[in-house]
Amino acid sequence: MNTMETTYIMIKPDGVQRGLVGEIIGRFERKGLKLVALKSVVPSKETAETHYECHAARPFYPGLIKFVTSGPVVCMAWTGVDAIAVARTLIGATNGREAAPGTIRGDFGMDMGYNMIHGSDAAETAAFELNLWFPEGLMQWDNLMGAWVYE
């Protein structure tokens, strides 16, 4: 723990369709994470399948691929101390009905598949996903706010 990390965060098509892009990005900003990449794309089937390849054998996989390629997603990379776990905490449990209030899924979600947002679950998956979605690389910049975020 206490490692500077970068995590891959993606607002899924339901989050975009429901007009939650600003709300969701604002939560990561206000938390004190640093934005190092941002773009919106309609994912290709190939990219979606690679992203979710660990779930390829699961019954929900075909529906998940169809869903995530159905429209725009918002792809982001956020950096901070323990950013991977911090982001997963902001996001909440997979099923919105079970996710804690105050989390993104707990505040806005009512289902398992339509849970609005993806966040990397470990350092290896973060590296894999960042490389997949941002082959162009990430931004390097000094965030002056950081001086008031970390003691």
Q: Is there a catalytic annotation at residue 118?
A: yes
Q: Shortest CA distance to 134 belongs to which of 39, 54, 28?
A: 39
Q: Are 39 and 94 in contact (CB under 8 A)?
A: no
Task: Give the whole-angstrom CA distance, residue 7 versus residue 77.
Answer: 6
**9 touches ligand IDP by CB under 6 A:** no
Choose the catalytic residue: 115, 118, 129, 130. 118
**103 touches ligand IDP by CB under 6 A:** no
Nearer to Mg ion, 49 or 121 (CB): 121
Q: Shortest CA distance to 79 belongs to which of 26, 121, 128, 37?
A: 37
String marking each residue 54-93 x if it binds ligand IDP according to CB under 6 A? -x----x---x-----------------------------
Q: Three-state SS for 92?
A: coil
Q: Provide DSSP, 16-37.
A: HHTT-HHHHHHHHHHHT-EEEE
Q: Return the amino acid letter for 81.
A: V
Nearer to Mg ion, 98 or 149 (CB): 98
Residue 94 binding: pick among ligand IDP, Mg ion, none (C-beta 5-8 Å cut-off by kind): ligand IDP
Which residues participate in catalysis according to the annotation?
118
Give contact residues for ligand IDP (rule: CB under 6 A): 55, 60, 64, 94, 112-113, 115, 118, 121
